[in-house]
Structure 1
């Protein structure tokens, strides 16, 4: 690990995204989280031929791929990535690859929907044939929380709205995963308007979709991501391995108040929603009995 030292202390490299403002923000947060004993340097192309042992923090899947393609042996901690993206790399890496997960866990999203709509008992989910597996683990967990779920498979682009209508007739709300084949800038307006006209809400898949018209989505603040990244770097230095990819424990929720007013849905305070979801995650059976 000698290569991971510099004159100013321990060293990490930062491979940025294409978003310069995000890069500046994350670097500032990582500086605070890692402390004065760690020096952060920008990752440069060709760098791993000179130093393949110093950990690299990669912001997003593109940055991760860029570093990984250059040298498959360099230790990489990926931030702002989804579980489906990083898990395979981490499982095959022997502890040299890990990630701080950014996509909201689907159970957490479903429970946020349950807190917002306490009378809800059914959750509808849309998937393509090759993304059904995104939801399958969730459907097994929902009954512990007083919910049941059903996946509606969209077999082609022209079947999206007809399948959505069937899903809306079944579910008390639509739970959206980060599936770009279903939820993307081309489709989201049609999905949200169809749901709105049937007095149904969409939960997720992320903050930008709440601004577009989804009612709510949980999310992880960047400060929490930076803090957990610092813990992972410390564990790597101590033992030469990263922990498996993980979500930060703390989260927040974004709400679309205009959509809630339009549908006459009284919203609890944001912190009350977060607290209630945390309680349900900690004790599903107790929460289901409330």
Structure 2
């Protein structure tokens, strides 16, 4: 496992001193190289890239470390408790506790999508939708509770259906599909994972119901649509966070990027006879709704 280190332009009072930033990769070479290139582009000229090994993590001094994915974050956090860390490709539920305990030292560019944005993605496709079905376990139910408070401002309501165990998943899903105009999937691995997703999507499809979310990957598997934050936007925000760190010595709190896009599955839409707006139109409708109703807490 390698960690990439690269310098930035002049540091504070001395333009001869470069800002050093370390990048802890995910282990996915293509992903790490892609994000490295985007970060380099955003951070400007004078960026030097050099690999360092994991056993050098304790020697990063006070230079900030960008981590790609939760595993890289955990590795760096365990290897150097004093390192300032900017986590990328992490979900709000993962990084929030760390950031709350170490404000300014630990932050993140959030990878998941605010659930209200996902809900509005579904409503942009089904304008008459008023009821949203949500599946959760006893451990993940709190993930959805803020959404229930936000939905009425957008003319919608939601209901959580609790899944007690693996055998209860499909019967609970059937009840949920009978309630909601669509099923909203959150990044909840206890419910949505490679073992369950095929059964969830087939069950919904057979009942002429759509699934929204939780990620682009699930759209390819058969969800109808999902909002997502594009990598260039995440890299841009990461660069801004690093600028703030070098100016103040602290990171801003974890945040979502400002811009989101929408992935759609046209084949599923055709099979269910659903007129599907363009991806750009869906994203624009969601942005308008959020603007009209104000930025909600989950954003």
Q: Do Structure 1 and Structure 2 share a fold, with TM-score over 0.5?
A: yes
Q: What is the aligned partner in structure 2 of residue 200 from structure 1?
A: 209
Work out whether residues 60 and 81 of structure 1, in 8 Å CA contact, stay in contact via their aligned partners in 2: yes
Q: What is the aligned partner in structure 1 of residue 237 from structure 2?
A: 228
Deviation at 1:10, TM superposition (A): 1.5
1:68 aligns with one of 77, 84, 103: 77
1:167 aligns with one of 158, 172, 176: 176
2:270 aligns with one of 257, 261, 275: 261
Deviation at 1:269, TM superposition (A): 1.4
Distance 1:43 1:113, change over 3 A: farther
Following the alignment from structure 2 to structure 1, what is the Cα–Cα distance between the partners of residues 187 and 17?
40
Q: What is the aligned partner in structure 2 of residue 288 from structure 1?
A: none
Q: What is the aligned partner in structure 2 of residue 143 from structure 1?
A: 152
Following the alignment from structure 1 to structure 2, what is the Cα–Cα distance between the partners of residues 44 and 240?
25
Which blocks of at least 5 consecutive residues in structure 1 are unaligned?
A: 286-290
Deviation at 1:36, TM superposition (A): 1.1
Which blocks of at least 5 consecutive residues in structure 2 are unaligned?
A: 1-6, 295-299
Q: What is the aligned partner in structure 2 of residue 90 from structure 1?
A: 99
Deviation at 1:44, TM superposition (A): 2.5
What secondary structure, in the 3-state scheme, does the structure 1 residue paired with 2:168 have?
Answer: helix
1:47 aligns with one of 50, 56, 81: 56
Q: What is the aligned partner in structure 2 of residue 34 from structure 1?
A: 43
- More displaced stretch, 66-75 vs 47-56: 47-56
Q: What TM-score comes out, normalization by structure 2 length? A: 0.91
Could you say what the CA RMSD is over the residues aligned between the two structures, in angstroms? 1.6
How many residues were matched structurally? 283
Q: What is the aligned partner in structure 1 of residue 255 from structure 2?
A: 246
Q: What TM-score comes out, normalization by structure 1 length? A: 0.94
Work out whether residues 130 and 157 of structure 2, in 8 Å CA contact, stay in contact via their aligned partners in 1: yes
Deviation per residue, 1:13-64 (Å, 9 max, x gap): 1100011000110010000001114444435323243332000000000001
Following the alignment from structure 1 to structure 2, what is the Cα–Cα distance between the partners of residues 278 and 40?
37
2:132 aligns with one of 112, 119, 123: 123
What secondary structure, in the 3-state scheme, does the structure 1 residue paired with 2:54 have?
Answer: coil
